[in-house]
Structure 1
Amino acid sequence: MKIQRFLFILNIFIGLAGLMGGFLAISSDARLAFGIKESMLVNSPFATFLIPGLLLFLIIGLCNLIVARLNAKKTSTFPYYECLMGIIQCSWIIIQCIMIWSIAPLHLIFFSLGLIQLIVGIWLVKKTNSSFPFSAHQNE
């Protein structure tokens, strides 16, 4: 299915971007090389980029790669996890923009990718009529 292949590539792309972004946030040398200053965090609850970097690495990076694997294995619950990752991606971008009081072109791009994940995930749920993960009705 072309849609699932598209989502697989999208999950891999977002996952790798999350891993790289998380690594950049965690590594002080990499942050300095890219001109990312801790003064950006003045309006956030964080004093350093460690916690946001770990969250970006684990939740956006690794979880998107896990969803890509679920897609490749053709699990019936994959569309729900795709929707979840779309919601997380969009929420992450909104919260990040609020915390740093800035919107950059990459924010708009990754917010749009999250919306695509969510919308296509919802479409796949309706199209495949798949059961909700951990639902009592999935064994019928």
Structure 2
Amino acid sequence: MPDILKDYFEALERLKNGKPINVPKGGRITNDLVSLEAGRKKGTIKKSRPIFLNLIDAIDAAAKEESKPRNEMRERFDEVKAEAARYRRLWEEALAREVSLIKQLSEEREVWAKERAALIGSKITPIRGDRKWADEST
């Protein structure tokens, strides 16, 4: 393998490992990015040059491998997003139940207050009268 190709393949390995020297981290692996990482100008890797055919195949394979983790991350993100939506729906349903129970309790208290008022009205005489039982027990 000529030295020039060795530089390109080493640059490709650094990019695959996420430890580039000459370019910023996180770029998509392309022919131009490998050229820049190898210390060459953009556009030096061309399909028309037979010496680069194996390198171009390796770059394409690395680009495909690189895109797979992103798809996995996107799938995981979608799963987490769906789970968050599910929990939000459950939370909203629980809130709706609580509001319904509070309304029912309020209505029951109103009915109880009316019944109590009807029982305590002038038709009933208290048995104990106005005695203060607490004073007598001391």
Q: With structure 2 as the length reference, what TM-score do the two structures score?
A: 0.30
Hey, which of these two has a bigger chunk of helix by percent?
1
| Higher RCO structure, 1 or 2 (CA under 8 Å, sep 6+) | 1
Q: Give 1 or 2 for the bigger CA radius of gyration.
A: 2
